Amino acid sequence: MSFEGKCAIVTGGSRGIGRAIVETLAQRGARVIIADRQDELAAATAAEVAAATGQEVSALHVDVADHLSARDLAEKALARLGRLDILVNNAGITRDTLLLRMDEADWDQVVDINLKGAFNCSKAVLRQMMKQRSGRIVNIASVSGIAGQAGQANYSASKAGLIGFTKALAREVGSRGITVNAVAPGFVPTALTVDLPAELKEASLKGIPLGRWGTPQEIAYAVAFLASDEAAYITGHVLSVDGGMVMG
């Protein structure tokens, strides 16, 4: 699976699953832009991955919830890379609490970044992808968007919306050679899960047939496949990478 000659944008690519995706694409030959609002971290990550892979990896600032910022990202990325082949909408946050305790701001921020962010960034790159008559958009959803999760009404809703967005957009742009798919990770050790109570982490294992949490790298492998030429006939699909946690 080679990405030689391909150019990719990964939002939220500075750490966790996003960084693993950046590393995996770069290792296989892609030129990658880390799009993040944490400028120093993004620049440091880009330098580290570039040194480790020998590929061109750089950083650009973006606030995915702001459509003007997303448009600016796409314009700068195109000027830098010359083409846009892959967009991975990975940027996401959690603001977990029970609905009765949830502030409106916690709802809005999660939906704005997790769902509206994918809308903004996808819209920003689509014109170039349509001009090329090729492209891959991979959205990072979640098993919480499939099965729901107590204490995550905002997060689950945003990820369920992202799944619907994936399927709708796939129908719109398929005739232009652009595929749109989603990866739905299960429990993975990242900054989003580090603060989960120990008892919840332990309880989660009982619902996973493989008996363990996944790794960022395992999610990255799934993303790389859906972004590859080998997956050219797959679109509108949601690939659960969750150890069997959610089936059906």
For residue 58, pLDDT over 90 is answered with: yes
Once rounded to an integer, what is the mean pLDDT over residues 144-168?
96
Alpha helical stretches, state H, the chain: 16-27, 39-53, 67-81, 104-111, 117-132, 144-147, 153-173, 198-205, 216-227
Torsion of CA 221, 223, 228, 234, to 10 degrees: 120
Pairing of strands 31-36, 238-241: unpaired
CB 143 within 8 Å of CB 246: yes
More confident residue, 105 or 246: 105
Angle at 138 between CA 134 and CA 139, to 5 degrees: 145
Q: Tens of pLDDT along 166-190? A: 999 999 999 999 999 999 999 998 7
Radius of gyration for the chain, computed over Cα atoms and rounded to the nearest angstrom: 17
- Residues 22-32: pLDDT tens digits? 999 999 999 99
User: Please, what is the Cα angle at 16 between 2 and 74, to 5 degrees?
Assistant: 60
pLDDT at position 248: 66
Backbone φ and ψ for 149, nearest 5 degrees, come out as -145, 125
Annotated catalytic sites, by residue? 155
* pLDDT tens sequence across 85-109: 999 999 999 999 999 999 999 999 9
Q: Which residue has the tokens 């509206």?
A: 116
Distance CA 103, CA 205 (A): 30
Whether 117 has a pLDDT exceeding 90, the answer reads: yes
* Contact yes or no for 33/56 (Cβ under 8 A): no
pLDDT in tens, 70-79: 999 999 999 9
Percent of the chain exceeding pLDDT 70 equals 95
pLDDT of residue 190: 74
Residue 201 scores a pLDDT above 90:
no
Phi, psi of 195 (to 5 degrees): -95, 5
Residue with more model confidence, 219 or 204: 219
pLDDT at 10 over 70: yes
Between strands 178-185 and 135-140, the pairing is parallel
User: Over 90: is that where the pLDDT of 155 sits?
Assistant: yes
Give the model's pLDDT for residue 195: 63
